[in-house]
Amino acid sequence: MEFLKKKALRFYTKALESYEKCEYDFAMFFVEQSIQLGLKFLISKKYGEIPKTHSFRILFELAEMKEFYEENLDVLREIELAYTASRYFDVEYTKKAVEKSLEVLKKFLERL
């Protein structure tokens, strides 16, 4: 399932590119995808299969990263909402919100 890790890292790159272009909605979407795929990578290594949920709470529990989830709960909730909001609604994210999200993503990716 190494492809999940590679995709998670590619989404991180896309998030950074979108941030640099001030495309904050895309940046948030890519941050969410990076975290989701990174979690699924960790879970698939442990259990041999990919969970069919998008819930960060469930994914972080399965990945045994509940403490990380709780420490970053406010930012992770906003990131998780971006999965739907950035695609289907006219939402705007601030530069600061994206910066915080990228910081959490970077800390998360260091654990892969």
68-97 confidence digits (pLDDT tens) = 999 999 999 999 999 888 778 888 999 999
Query: Is residue 42 pLDDT above 80, yes or no?
Result: yes
Residue ranges per structural domain of the chain? 2-109
Tell me the backbone φ, ψ of residue 95, rounded to 5 degrees.
-55, -40
| The CATH homologous superfamily of the domain defined by 2-109 | Nucleotidyltransferases  domain 2 (1.20.120.330)
Please give the Cα distance from 63 to 25 (Å, whole number). Answer: 27
- For the entire predicted model, the pTM comes to 0.94
Q: How confident is the model at residue 46 (pLDDT cuts 50, 70, 90)?
A: very high
